[in-house]
Amino acid sequence: MGFYGDQILPRLLNLVMARDTAEVRTRVAAGLTGAVLEIGFGSGLNVPYYPPGVTRVWAVDPATVGRKLAAGRVRASPVPVEYAGLTAEAIPLADASADHVLSTWNLCTIPDPARALAEVKRILRPGGQLHFVEHGRSPDLKVARMQDRIEPIQKRFFGGCHVTRRIDQLIEASGLELTELKNYYRPGTAFDGYTYEGIATKSA
C-alpha cells in the first residue's frame, strides 16, 4: 500500500469524510440488524450511526493507521467490533454468516469490486442485505467526460479512487437484487459527487 496510502490518506479521509455526511450515514445505516460486516471500515466514521438492532460488527480495512484512528469510536461503541481481514476481495468469514453488509464510499477504491461483491454475496445470509452509498459515473455526458479526465489524478492521490464506476451495474452483476436505489449529486460536489445510495438483497 505504501506510506502515503497507509499513513497519510486515512488521516486525510478521516477529516474529509466526516464533514456533512451524518445525515447520509444515518439513512444508510438505518435498518441494519444482527451481525453486520462493514467493508472499508476506515476510521470508524459509521460507528456512531449503528442502530440498536446491530449485535456485532466485523470490520474490514487495509490501512493499519485506520485502526488507530478508529480506536476511540470502537471503544465508545455499545456494539462489539472485531477486525476481520484487510481486503474485501478475500474475507475470512463463513458463508451466510452476516445479516447485513455496510459499505460507504468504498467500492470506488477496491481494486477488484466484482470479486469484493462476490464475497459480500457469499457472506450474506439468504435474504440478507447490502446497505450502500457510493459515488460513481454520472449519466450527464458533460460530467462523465470530466470524470474520465480527472480519474487518473483521483486514483493517484485518493488511494485508487475511481469516479467512473457504474455502481448499480456492478451490484447487479454480482447477483444481488437492487431493491432500493436513488441517485443524486451531493451538495457542493462536482465530478466526484454523483451518488448511488440504496439496498441490495441476496435472494432467499
Domain ranges of the chain: 2-201
Q: Mean pLDDT throughout 62-83?
A: 90
List Cα–Cα distances, 24 to 39, 68, 169, in angstroms.
17, 24, 22
Q: Which helix (H) or strand (E) holds 70?
A: helix 64-76
Q: Assess whether pLDDT exceeds 60 at residue 89.
A: yes
Cα angle 177-21-120, degrees, rounded to a multiple of 5: 30
Select from 3.90.45.10, 3.50.50.60, 3.40.50.150, 3.40.50.1370 the CATH code of 2-201: 3.40.50.150
Per-residue pLDDT tens digits for 23-42: 999 999 999 999 999 999 99
What pLDDT does 3 receive?
72
Of the pLDDT bands very low, low, confident and very high (cuts 50, 70, 90), residue 60 is very high
Q: Is the pTM of this model over 0.75?
A: yes
What pLDDT does 12 receive?
72
Cα angle 180-183-184, degrees, rounded to a multiple of 5: 145
Of the pLDDT bands very low, low, confident and very high (cuts 50, 70, 90), residue 6 is low
Q: Assess whether pLDDT exceeds 90 at residue 11.
A: no
Paired with 124 in beta bridges are 98
What pLDDT does 5 receive?
62
What pLDDT does 4 receive?
66
